[in-house]
Amino acid sequence: MNTRAERDIEKTYPISDFISKLRRLADSLEKGEPFEIQIAGERIYVPVRAIYNIEHEREGGREEIEFQIKWADK
């Protein structure tokens, strides 16, 4: 049984690291391959079946764009 602790992390990266991660993600998507990324010390494996969306929020004079990747454990 896989019991993983709940987690909600927001990690800031230098622009060059952010670009590199986006580029690797795009390459994986184009090839139809799973994506692997390490965030705050934990390795995350994103399956091919993941759902991708973009969210835009505006509130109190601030704006935010989130590139989201969602999937459920099988």
Q: What's the confidence (pLDDT) of residue 2?
A: 63
pLDDT for the residue numbered 5: 86
Q: State pTM to two decimals.
A: 0.82
Q: Is the dihedral of CA 25, 29, 31, 34 positive or negative?
A: positive
pLDDT tens digits for the chain (74 residues)? 567 789 999 989 999 999 999 999 999 999 999 999 999 889 999 999 999 999 999 999 999 999 999 999 87
CA angle 30, 40, 3 (to 5 degrees): 90
Give the per-residue pLDDT at 1. 54
| pLDDT for the residue numbered 3 | 73
